[in-house]
Amino acid sequence: MSTDKSALLHERVINITRRCEDLKDNELFFMLQRNLRQAVEQSSATAPAPLVVTIIGGTGVGKSFIFSSLCATPEVSPSSSSVRGYTKELFVAAAPEDRALLPFSSEEAHYLPGLLPGAILIDTPDLDTINSNNARIARETIRVSDILIVVTTPDKRSNFAIHQNIVEWASRKRWFFVINKTDTAPDASTERLKADLTDRLQHIGFAVDPGALFAFSARQPDSDEFRRFRDLVYSPRTVVQSRILREESALRRILHALNAEKTAERILKLQQELIDYRATLSAQINEQHHLVVTSPAITGLANDSLRSSIYLELAGNNSLFLYPWFAIISWFSPGVRAEYADQAVEAALAENFRFSGCRVDERRFLEDRSLMTTSENNLPAVVKNSGNGEVFMQIIENAQRISEMPLMRFYIILGNILPSLVLLSALYRAAGSWISGIWLPTDFFVHAVALIVIASLPGYMLICKAIDRMAGRFVLKPSQQAVNLHLLDANIAGIDKILQEISLLNSSAESQLKEMQHLLPQSNCGITARDL
């Protein structure tokens, strides 16, 4: 893996952990963040460290015996045929400069000079220990190991209990499996023993390569099988591969952090849950909104607002003789303006118990899942349709539409005919008299004006009727705007980003792992498992 690629992966991991920050009260994101951090921390901390090879297995299977054989010093880690769990501490064969890199105190580990520069070999006490400190040491040891050698014996292999630690770390480490003490079961062929073990291992997700399984007697260190074993697990060749093994294990740790316990899948499920709940809430809010804007009180108010808005529109239009009426009416209209209808809808929504209940439900739903309940994204905290002038716009648009309707124009023309006739006849009279040199008295003009005003009255009343009829039919339409559930939306968007990044990280780690696979064949470097 080139450094560019690992830097990119590292950056992606950091991105995800940063995004998890806002959501980390939720267990899923907390886990994801912690696991990813651990995955990269370890790779940056232990990059130059030596290869760690650890022998694990049940009590009395010959771990210490094998350890001593590999160290080429008999009894370097004392064995015992009679005392169960004879080894009480870790036996670590490591060069002095490498020891400091291990997280064990001198009480916990017995250090021996390392035989192989660049590699550390560890013999462990019983894995199935009931001592909680030993259990911790066992876990820590596995964590820092690159290669694990699991030892069992022919009598144990039939009920070869797969230790929980093996299952848990299967996908993140390289493993070799040894059936020791074959001399104690002369009637069972090594093929048979290995086949039994292979079955068990495949069952827990290992891709078993026969080359990574061994069946021998540690008492015969000169056997071909033991030599092959030594050459693969603890030889200069093993050390040469350590850098690339490390890189592979970093990738495996990242993939494990994403896929262990189905984290990504569960996050996706959580997001779907939020999306579904959003749809439910949104439907409830829309329903309440519909009920409010179509309620008799709001409808009445909207009708009045529409009526006075139409008068205002007509006063602005070319209504000739009818103009004074419209102007007077809109000046003295009872103060019912479109803005008030808007405010009334807002007030009615605020008082609507079920409408405000949806907001409470939204918050509670998020609180139950320990998700973000405050929005730091500066999203406006506006409730649907409140104060955004949508009702106002509906009324004004309707007033304009009605005032420009052909029927309304026709009424206006009709209403203007009578006063026009009166005006024409008055003008005719005035012109006639003027031509004959008679100046009409002022009374005539006063009466003419009064007559024109009176003549415009029927037209005005006709239009009043029409407006009443049209405004009375008007009902506000529910808002077409999407419901604003900004808390849910902020969470959904946040999770979405994380899911996208997870998918990117996952695919790039997988493809890099695949590239690496041919450099580290399972037969030479130990087998490994996929996350189940």
Ligand X SMILES: Nc1nc2c(ncn2[C@@H]2O[C@H](COP(=O)(O)OP(=O)(O)O)[C@@H](O)[C@H]2O)c(=O)[nH]1
Residues near ligand X (CB under 6 A) are 57, 59-65, 79-81, 86-87, 180-181, 183-184, 217-219
Q: What is the 3-state secondary structure (H, E, C) of 44-88?
A: HHCCCCCEEEEEEECCCCCHHHHHHHHCCCCCCCCCCCCCCCCCC
Q: How many CA atoms lie within 13 A of 104 on its CB side?
A: 27
Nearer of residues 222 and 368 to ligand X, judged by Cβ: 222
Q: Is 479 helix (H, G, I), strand (E, B) or coil?
A: coil
Q: Which does 252 bind (CB under 5 to 8 A by kind): Mg ion, ligand X, none?
A: none
Nearer of residues 57 and 419 to ligand X, judged by Cβ: 57
Q: How many CA atoms lie within 13 A of 250 on its CB side?
A: 26
Q: How far is the CB of 54 from ligand X (least distance, A)?
A: 13
Q: Which does 278 bind (CB under 5 to 8 A by kind): ligand X, Mg ion, none?
A: none
Q: How far is the CB of 491 from Mg ion (least distance, A)?
A: 52
Report the C-alpha gap between 359 and 282 in whole angstroms.
10
Record the tokens describing residue 253, joined without a space: 């740790």
Report the C-alpha gap between 95 and 11 in whole angstroms.
34
Nearer of residues 60 and 478 to ligand X, judged by Cβ: 60
Report the C-alpha gap between 500 and 502 in whole angstroms.
5
Nearer of residues 60 and 494 to ligand X, judged by Cβ: 60
Nearer of residues 63 and 307 to ligand X, judged by Cβ: 63
Report the C-alpha gap between 331 and 28 in whole angstroms.
64
Which of 54, 51, 53, 60 lies closest to 218, judged by CA?
A: 60
Report the C-alpha gap between 189 and 317 in whole angstroms.
107
Q: Which does 442 bind (CB under 5 to 8 A by kind): ligand X, Mg ion, none?
A: none
Q: How far is the CB of 85 from ligand X (least distance, A)?
A: 7
Q: Is 162 helix (H, G, I), strand (E, B) or coil?
A: coil
Residues in the chain: 532
Nearer of residues 2 and 220 to ligand X, judged by Cβ: 220
Instruction: To the nearest 10°, report the CA torsion of 382, 387, 390, 394.
Output: 160
Nearer of residues 128 and 209 to ligand X, judged by Cβ: 128
Record the tokens describing residue 362, joined without a space: 């939204």
Nearer of residues 76 and 395 to ligand X, judged by Cβ: 76
Q: How far is the CB of 165 from Mg ion (least distance, A)?
A: 17
Q: How far is the CB of 235 from ligand X (least distance, A)?
A: 20
Q: Which does 180 bind (CB under 5 to 8 A by kind): Mg ion, ligand X, none?
A: ligand X
Q: Which does 219 bind (CB under 5 to 8 A by kind): ligand X, Mg ion, none?
A: ligand X
Which of 230, 257, 280 lies closest to 70, judged by CA?
A: 230
- Say if CB 411 and CB 459 are below 8 A apart: yes
Q: Which does 80 bind (CB under 5 to 8 A by kind): ligand X, Mg ion, none?
A: ligand X
Q: How far is the CB of 127 from ligand X (least distance, A)?
A: 10
- Say if CB 317 and CB 400 are below 8 A apart: no
Nearer of residues 64 and 416 to Mg ion, judged by Cβ: 64
Question: Footprint of Mg ion on residues 35-64 (CB under 5 A)?
Answer: 63-64
Nearer of residues 60 and 114 to Mg ion, judged by Cβ: 60
Q: How far is the CB of 56 from ligand X (least distance, A)?
A: 9
Q: Which does 503 bind (CB under 5 to 8 A by kind): ligand X, Mg ion, none?
A: none
Which of 283, 282, 267 lies closest to 369, judged by CA?
A: 267
Q: In what order do the strands lie in the sheet with 147-152?
A: 109-113, 90-94, 119-123, 51-57, 147-152, 174-179, 213-215
Q: Which does 90 bind (CB under 5 to 8 A by kind): ligand X, Mg ion, none?
A: none
Q: How far is the CB of 85 from Mg ion (least distance, A)?
A: 8
Nearer of residues 63 and 246 to Mg ion, judged by Cβ: 63
Q: How far is the CB of 229 from ligand X (least distance, A)?
A: 12
Q: How far is the CB of 86 from Mg ion (least distance, A)?
A: 5
Nearer of residues 83 and 381 to ligand X, judged by Cβ: 83
Q: Is 476 helix (H, G, I), strand (E, B) or coil?
A: coil
Q: How far is the CB of 111 from Mg ion (least distance, A)?
A: 16
Q: Which does 60 bind (CB under 5 to 8 A by kind): ligand X, Mg ion, none?
A: ligand X
Q: Which does 522 bind (CB under 5 to 8 A by kind): ligand X, Mg ion, none?
A: none
Q: Which does 65 bind (CB under 5 to 8 A by kind): Mg ion, ligand X, none?
A: ligand X
Strand partners for 119: 51
Report the C-alpha gap between 34 and 445 in whole angstroms.
95
Burial 496-531 (b: 16+ CB within 10 A, else e): eebbebbeebbebbeebbeebeeebebeebbbbbeb
Q: Which does 330 bind (CB under 5 to 8 A by kind): ligand X, Mg ion, none?
A: none
Q: How far is the CB of 87 from Mg ion (least distance, A)?
A: 3
Report the C-alpha gap between 102 and 274 in whole angstroms.
45
Question: Footprint of Mg ion on residues 85-104 (CB under 5 A)?
Answer: 87
Nearer of residues 76 and 502 to ligand X, judged by Cβ: 76
DSSP one-letter string for 78-129: ---SSSTT---SEEEEE-HHHHTTS---TTTEEEEE-SSTTEEEEE---TT-
Q: Which does 487 bind (CB under 5 to 8 A by kind): ligand X, Mg ion, none?
A: none
152 lines the binding site for Mg ion (CB under 5 A): no
Q: How far is the CB of 81 from ligand X (least distance, A)?
A: 3
Q: Which amino acid is at 331?
A: W
Record the tokens describing residue 214, joined without a space: 């061994």
Residues that bind Mg ion (CB under 5 A): 63-64, 87
